Amino acid sequence: MQFNEFLNNLSNYEPGKDIEVIAKEYKLKEVIKLASNENPLGTAPKVIQTLKTYADKAHLYPDDSMSELKSKLCAKFGIKDKELIIGAGSDQVIEFAVHAKLNPKNAFLQCKATFAMYEIYAKQCGAKCYKSKSLGHDLKEFKELYEAHKDEIKMIFLCVPNNPLGECLNAHDVKEFIKIVDEDCMVVIDAAYNEFASYKDKEKHLEAKELISQFNNVLYLGTFSKLYGLGGLRVGYGIADEHLIKALYKLRAPFNVNILALKAACAALEDIEFLTQSLKNNFTQMTKYEEFAQTHNLEFILSYTNFITYFFNEKNSTDLSEKLLKKGIIIRNLKSYGLNALRITIGTAYENSRFFEEFSQILKG
């Protein structure tokens, strides 16, 4: 059987390893997962109660207008419902955007090390990829690349903050860069981790309403998978000028987000105490990872997310990750990004202590 040629040069996305699979494979009683940037505090109490309340409604199709969640998100961001689209994770909205805009005759721009699905989705459309030489977002280099290939580039991805590195652009610099971009080029601002960056540094905060009011070619993305603790239910959203959202809706299948996910997202927005606790835990524990890196002479990037990335010179990240797996600790090896590095999700105090204990022994050899 023959398939489309673009599949020949397309890599699979590599998700984090599953706890139960690793426990069974290595015969472990306890496995700690610090690989997929999930909320280590689990699921908000209000969400758990909501899921119990609506569990007996799972046989019903969801409200396809998603009116309840839309109303809450519109109130949160100060936007109109015509400026909002909800997807099964923000990556589904990325897929909508890419298929709406890219084709084999044009190109997209991204930094060297960023969320893998940008390139995977774009290459499905046959689009050409331009990447910065710098690992992260060097906007001077972005500007040079864009101006050199302006006729081709019809989409630019800015991951603010950036996954898997953790670095983050200032909001002012993002807006200044967008000013040089032609209106026919869509700028996708992936703000999946922006709540963390905003908490740590107000200069990193991106205001969705301000962005789409000023630029009609901007698509702002948010998710419930990280801070809100709903990674297993898949809910994300896109905010943009209504003409852009209208185009994306033509690619959305009916009932693309299930009834329990929609109800859970509504409840997650209301549990402010859980969100505050999650942010405080993240950055309190983050300092311990920075101190560990300094003590062991590890290179790292100052992170504005819920993870930290360690870089290695002499040691091999694949070997290190395998040794951690055998100890029952799952982290993310970044070899698939071409990096000799490990990305570690910030966990609970207990999980982090386990990591430090085991990893210090592994580093000693």
Peptide bond before 164: cis, by omega within 30 degrees of 0?
Answer: yes
Q: Are strands 153-159 and 186-190 parallel, antiparallel or unpaired?
A: parallel
Angle at 98 between CA 156 and CA 73, to 5 degrees: 85
pLDDT at 27: 74
Tell me the whole-structure pTM to 2 decimals.
0.94
Tell me the pLDDT band of 13, cut-offs 50, 70 and 90.
low
Compute the average pLDDT of residues 275-292.
98
Compute the average pLDDT of residues 337-346.
97
106-162 residue pLDDT tens: 999 999 999 999 999 999 999 999 999 999 999 999 999 999 999 999 999 999 999
Tell me the pLDDT band of 6, cut-offs 50, 70 and 90.
confident
Secondary structure (3-state) at 77: helix
Residue in 164, 152, 63 with CA at minimum distance from that of residue 103: 152
Compute the average pLDDT of residues 296-310.
97
Tell me the CA distances in angstroms from 90 to 2, 53, 236, one per residue in order. 31, 26, 4
Residue in 103, 148, 142 with CA at minimum distance from that of residue 121: 103
**Taking the mean position of all CA atoms in its chain, how far away is CA 100?**
21
Tell me the CA distances in angstroms from 140 to 147, 171, 173, 191, 306, one per residue in order. 11, 15, 10, 21, 27
Concatenating the DSSP letter of every residue in 92-151 gives HHHHHHHHHH--TT-EEEE-SSS-HHHHHHHHHTT-EEEE-SSSS--HHHHHHHHHHTTT
SS3 annotation, 9-54: HCCCCCCCCCHHHHHHHHCCCCCEECCCCCCCCCCCHHHHHHHHHH
Compute the average pLDDT of residues 233-243.
98
Quote the percentage of the chain above a pLDDT of 70.
98
pLDDT at 25: 72
**Taking the mean position of all CA atoms in its chain, how far away is CA 168?**
13
Average pLDDT, the chain: 95
Quickly count: other Cβ atoms within 10 Å of residue 67's Cβ: 11
Tell me the pLDDT band of 317, cut-offs 50, 70 and 90.
very high
Q: Which residue has the higher pLDDT, 60 or 2?
A: 60
pLDDT at 50: 97
pLDDT at 297: 96
Work out whether the CA dihedral 37, 40, 44, 49 comes out positive or negative: positive
Compute the average pLDDT of residues 71-99.
98
pLDDT at 23 over 90: no
Domains and CATH numbers, the chain: 14-38+273-364 (3.90.1150.10), 45-270 (3.40.640.10)
pLDDT at 26: 64
Angle at 115 between CA 109 and CA 119, to 5 degrees: 50
pLDDT at 1: 77
Distance CA 70, CA 117 (A): 25
pLDDT at 212 over 80: yes
154-199 residue pLDDT tens: 999 999 999 999 999 999 999 999 999 999 999 999 999 999 999 9
Quote the percentage of the chain above a pLDDT of 90.
91
pLDDT at 230 over 90: yes
pLDDT at 351: 97
pLDDT at 61 over 70: yes
Tell me the pLDDT band of 14, cut-offs 50, 70 and 90.
low
308 forms bridges with which residues in the sheet?
A: 344
